[in-house]
Amino acid sequence: MVRLASTRIFEGFSLSHAAILDGTTGAESASLYGCRNGTIATDSGNFENTGDDIVLSEWFWINFANVTVEEGFIPFDTVALITGTTVSSSGSAPNDYYSVPLWTLASMNTVTRPMAVRTPAKDSAGNLYTLDFVLYCSTRSSTCRSTSRAPRTRTA
């Protein structure tokens, strides 16, 4: 069997981890457990710089990204973080219940938080990697950005 030298061409597989990050340190402040499915849909724009009836250069950018994560369950702390409201308890087990006020002003205008999405990947030589996408919004402008961390070799 002949193995090709590793290239920088990666193929990503299904979503394996998603988390909401702390906006200051980059540490995970809330994990989304049991990720079943996830998508990143971008709205992109482009500009063609023309001169002398030919295209001299092209610019492409991402305006925003809609991230959808379907998960098995969501912790109450994460619900509170996403909605900006408090999850309250009626008391102690076994007869307790939890409630979240819906459609409050706080939940309609929540703070934008950075997010990390992880997926396993493989290069053309068959080497396994972990590919991380980090989505964040710049505080200097209303423009949101996305980046991907350098792939890391997956350890067994």
Provide the whole-model pTM.
Answer: 0.61
Residue 100 lies in a domain: no
- The answer to the question of residue 63 being in a domain is yes
| pLDDT at res. 153 | 47
Domain ranges, residue 141: 10-67+113-153
Residue 98 lies in a domain: no
Residue 3, pLDDT score: 52
Residue 56, in any domain of the structure: yes
In a domain, 91, yes or no: no
How many structural domains does the chain have? 1
Cβ atoms of 83 and 30 within 8 Å: the answer is: no
Extract the residue ranges of the chain whose pLDDT is less than 50: 1, 141, 146, 148-156
pLDDT of residue 156: 42
Q: Which residues touch 106 (CB under 8 Å, ≥6 apart)?
A: 83, 84, 85
